[in-house]
Amino acid sequence: MQTTNYTELRTGLKTYLDTVVHNREPLVVNRPYNNSVVIISLEEYNALNETAYITSSPAMLERINSAEQNILNGNGIKINIDDL
19-56 pLDDT tens trace: 999 999 999 999 999 899 999 999 999 999 999 999 99
Q: Distance between CA atoms of 44 and 38, rounded to whole angstroms?
A: 12
The reported pLDDT for the residue numbered 83 is 84
Q: In Å, how far are 5, 18, 31, 33, 49 from 13, measured between CA atoms?
A: 11, 8, 16, 22, 25
- Among 27-31, 69-73, 79-83, the range scoring the smallest mean pLDDT is 79-83
